[in-house]
Amino acid sequence: MSKLVVVGTVAFDAIETPFGKTDKILGGAATYIGLSASNFNIDATLVSVIGGDFPKEHLDLLESKNLDLSGIETVKDGKTFFWSGKYHNDMNSRDTLVTELNVLEHFKPVVPEAYKDAEIVMLGNLHPLVQQGVLDQMNKKPKLAILDTMNFWMDIALEDLLSVIKNVDVITINDEEARQLTGEYSLVVAARKIHEMGPQYVVIKKGEHGALLFHKDDVFYAPALPLEAVFDPTGAGDTFAGGFAGYLAKTEDISFENMKNAVIYGSTLASFCVEKFGTERMENLTDKEIHERLLQFKDLTQFEIKLT
Amino acid sequence: MSKLVVVGTVAFDAIETPFGKTDKILGGAATYIGLSASNFNIDATLVSVIGGDFPKEHLDLLESKNLDLSGIETVKDGKTFFWSGKYHNDMNSRDTLVTELNVLEHFKPVVPEAYKDAEIVMLGNLHPLVQQGVLDQMNKKPKLAILDTMNFWMDIALEDLLSVIKNVDVITINDEEARQLTGEYSLVVAARKIHEMGPQYVVIKKGEHGALLFHKDDVFYAPALPLEAVFDPTGAGDTFAGGFAGYLAKTEDISFENMKNAVIYGSTLASFCVEKFGTERMENLTDKEIHERLLQFKDLTQFEIKLT
């Protein structure tokens, strides 16, 4: 079993979808990644920052999932990062209503001493300089560094982003972001260009259309489970990344073949995340439920072709 | 081996994509369905209508693929159906520039006597009354009736469309059309509503995002092969349908398990269709190429999950 370092936000979200709206609830990239990865019973730490307004019950929840929280700094007189967004009817696009950086503005991540030798580092969506700061604190180059990012950083910090992309093994990115980063419409060509930027593995997330894994000339396509209803897509991408990283930490096998399974696990966990608002569904998820859904994924995609 | 009846247009297309444009070239739903199905060396007839302006070389091409053309009526002093369209940069949307119905306006399909006992009927995109007219001419209810349609008929002939939908076993439809037909955004819910309209099997085509097959509570998702470039999407849906119907005619097995393979064959053949303008790629396709691409599909989607 490998140790996992997760960096990202631990935050408040307020979400509005066609199905309802929430007050300030638990959110943040590191939260979703951590909750998802915790299903593999691995040794993982969250590196993040919160304000004095962050409720103990949220920390208790994360701790109850055996996540190490010694890397979460509390700024007593600061306020926790807050994001608010509203999803459109198709659930694929959203408007950001509020972004309050608060304690995130001066966040200097500190990797706990006991995790500086972790084999896997998951760089959740944050300023690329913060992501690089985490890599710089590791005792040695981790076996696998995975980076998630978004269009926002391409717009305002492209050079820093390209620098950290050069130093990671895997990038997870959505289709529109892959197109923006490369200027290429074809995802095959976009993935090739991202390979050339550094990462050996490129995961392109396509929401309800699934996810693609590219490695050299190989490609794997995991569809998303067709769902009756998506209540809230918030955190689905981070949940995917947490499942991906958690599975690889658990199995200690970073071959392309095993990474396919990591994509399937990531997709499986993400399919739960969207069933309820916020982290609710991820807070109470059993191994039995996960295994049953994995079998659904198998039924969904596996076939025995007969050549005519 | 089952006999196959295909009804649909045999037409002229003029196509413009970001990669170039064509003059009037061979097109039409029955043309693409027939070319695709012909890869299975089955006994298939095309039921359609053309004008005196239709070149013999096009008919020779179809005949060279062992397609029976006795069901194609020629209206000597009429003009062949003509469609012209222009694709946008994303290749997923297009504008229709010209639609000249010509001989299609008074088309009364005639199923050749020798095919009135065919086990499989593929109703390509046409007015629903024409599609029903073909079903009505069969000696007995075919083993499998497959219907393709489009939003156009939902707009102008919804009642007729619902009538013929009630009489078929399989419908192939794209995602936007499934949503329009049912008023449901979730494709799972849309498929269930279409089941209730009649068809036991619902195939939802999602273009570059693949295709879904629904049957009762079962669902199968075949992704599309990620391509470097899509030159011309014209006919991809019909090529999919032709591969689907052709494979089922060849294997004579209409179980859900075998229909998965039919979806894979349909997707495989469609992946060739878009590589060149019009029918060009489908005119010269070898079994070896098809088999190689099927293996690519297997690599793309198959995995051996290890439960953690």
Query: Which residues 258-277 on chain A approach chain B with CB closer than 8 angstroms?
Result: 260-261, 264-265
Nearest by CB: A264 against B90, B297, B305: B305
| Residue A58 pLDDT exceeds 70 | yes
Query: How much of chain A, in percent, has pLDDT values that exceed 70?
Result: 99
Q: Domain of B32: which CATH number?
A: 3.40.1190.20
At which residue do the structure tokens 């008023």 appear?
A: B183
Nearest-10 Cα torsion for A118, A124, A130, A134: 0
Q: Which two tokens stand for residue B183?
A: 């008023």
Q: Is A252 left (phi over 0), alpha (psi -120 to 50) or beta?
A: left
In tens, the pLDDT along B178-235 reads: 999 999 999 999 999 999 999 999 999 999 999 999 999 999 999 999 998 888 999 9
Is B307 part of any domain? no
User: Is A238 tagged catalytic?
Assistant: yes
Place of tokens 């392309």: A256
A306 touches chain B (CB under 8 A): yes
Query: Cα separation of B224 and B175, whole Å?
Result: 14
A139 Cα distance to chain centroid: 24
Residue carrying the six token digits 């009538």: B163
* Mean pLDDT, range B253-267, rounded to an integer: 96
A173 part of a folded domain: yes
The predicted pLDDT at position A184 comes to 94
Which value, to the nearest 10 degrees, does the dihedral of the CA atoms of residues B254, B256, B261, B263 take? Answer: 100
* Average pLDDT score over chain A: 95
CB distance from B300 to chain A under 8 Å?
yes
Question: What gap in Å lies between CA A75 and CA A251, rounded to an integer?
Answer: 36
In the predicted structure, residue A89 carries a pLDDT above the cut 80:
no
Per-residue pLDDT tens digits for B105-124:
999 999 999 999 999 999 99
How open is the CA angle B201-B202-B204, to the nearest 5 degrees? 155
Nearest CA in chain A to B89: A185
Q: Indicate the residue of B186, B209, B303 with minimum beta-carbon distance to A229.
A: B186
Chain A, 14 to 43: residues with Cβ < 8 Å from chain B are: 40
Residue A232 counted as domain residue: yes
Would you call A288 an interface residue with chain B, using a CB distance cutoff of 8 Å? Answer: no
* B193 in any annotated domain: yes
For residue B237, is pLDDT > 70? yes
Distance from CA of A182 to the nearest CA of B (A): 14
Q: Which tokens is B142 given?
A: 């075919």
Do the domain assignments include residue B173? yes
- Copy the structure tokens of residue A237: 């991408």
What number is the average pLDDT over the span B134-162? 97
pLDDT in tens, B22-63: 999 999 999 999 999 999 999 999 999 999 999 999 999 999
Given CB atoms, is A89 within the 8 Å cutoff of chain B? yes
pLDDT tens readout for residues A37-51: 999 999 999 999 999
Question: Would B148 be classed as within a structural domain?
Answer: yes
- Determine the pLDDT at residue A19: 86
| Amino acid symbol at A63 | E
**Bridge partner list, A51:** A75
Q: What is the mean pLDDT of chain B?
A: 95
Report the C-alpha gap between A62 and B165 in whole angstroms.
Answer: 52
Alpha carbon A47 to chain centroid distance? 14
- Interval B99-104 mean pLDDT: 96
pLDDT at A23 over 70: yes
Tell me the nearest-neighbour CA distance from B247 into chain A, angstroms: 8
The pairing of strands A201-205 and A211-215 is antiparallel
Q: Shortest Cα distance from A89 to chain B (angstroms)?
A: 9
Strand boundaries in B59-180, DSSP class E: 67-68, 72-75, 82-87, 94-100, 120-123, 144-148, 170-174
Quote the pLDDT of residue B230: 86
Inform me whether the pLDDT recorded for A306 exceeds 80: no
Q: Domain range spanning residue A288? A: 10-301
pLDDT at res. B308: 65
Residue that has been written with the tokens 């059993």 in this structure: A286
**pLDDT at residue A308, as a whole number:** 66
- Distance CA(B14)–CA(B27), nearest Å, equals 9
Chain B partners within 8 Å of A306 (Cβ): 251, 261
Would an 8 Å CB–CB cutoff place B294 in contact with chain A? Answer: yes
pLDDT at A191 (0 to 100)? 98
Residue A239 has pLDDT above 90, yes or no: yes
Per annotation, catalytic residue among B90, B238, B253, B299: B238
Looking at beta carbons, which residues of chain B come within 8 Å of A187?
226
The average pLDDT across A78-102 equals 90
Residue B307: pLDDT over 90: no
Compare all CA atoms of chain A with the CA of B306 and give the residue at the minimum distance.
Answer: A261
Question: How far apart, in whole angstroms, are the C-alpha atoms of residue B257 and residue A156?
Answer: 50
Helix (H, G, I), strand (E, B) or coil at A27: strand
Residues 95-134 of A with CB under 8 A from B: none
Q: What is the mean pLDDT of residues B133-137?
A: 98
Q: Do A25 and A12 form a contact (C-beta atoms < 8 A)?
A: yes
Residue A154 lies in a domain: yes
Question: Residue A241: pLDDT above 80?
Answer: yes
Residues B217 and A109: their CA atoms lie apart, in Å, by 48
Looking at the 3D structure of chain B, how many domains does it have?
1
Model confidence at B92: pLDDT above 80: no
Does position A12 have pLDDT exceeding 80, yes or no? yes
Beta-strand pair B120-123/B3-7? parallel
